[in-house]
Amino acid sequence: MTNQTYKEKITQTVLEQLEGNNWTFEEAIKKWWMTSRSSTGLRLTPIGDLEFNYAKIEYHDFVLSNSIKKSYYSFILELNKKIKCPYFIGVNKSNNETKPFIRLYDSRITMMLSLYGDIDSYLKSIKTNR
């Protein structure tokens, strides 16, 4: 038996929580995550976010402010390196306004982000090894 990666363990656990599950493990890995490679980030697709909601996994949403001074792609790369929990990036549309948000599926990271005040400050505080 091979050792499961963190992404594979999360996927297996959520599959076990779903009632009336019609997903195979391989389908879930491919459809729930933005990249199915096990060594890359934990960003969820809209389908993955929906399945996490069906499994009643706790989450917290944070508005993404305009204070982020990098390009979208470098921001996503930084999230993939530094956010060590499943997350989803979406947009709330109301009253002709669009408000981007990040949904985090980890209460510890949520608490830390709350203490820093915004996602940009939190990401700057995290050191990564190259």
Domains of the chain by residue range: 32-130
97-104 sheet: strands from edge to edge: 60-63, 97-104, 87-94
Q: How far is CA 121 from CA 39, 65, 70, 93, in A?
A: 25, 11, 13, 25
- Which pLDDT score is estimated for 5? 87
pLDDT-based confidence at residue 17 (cuts at 50, 70, 90): very high
pTM of the model: 0.88
Q: How many helices (H) does the chain have, and how many strands (E)?
A: 6, 3
pLDDT digits (tens, 9 = 90+) for 65-93: 766 677 888 888 899 999 999 999 999 88
The per-residue pLDDT for range 37-50, each reduced to its tens digit, is 766 789 999 999 99
Residue 129 has pLDDT above 70, yes or no: no
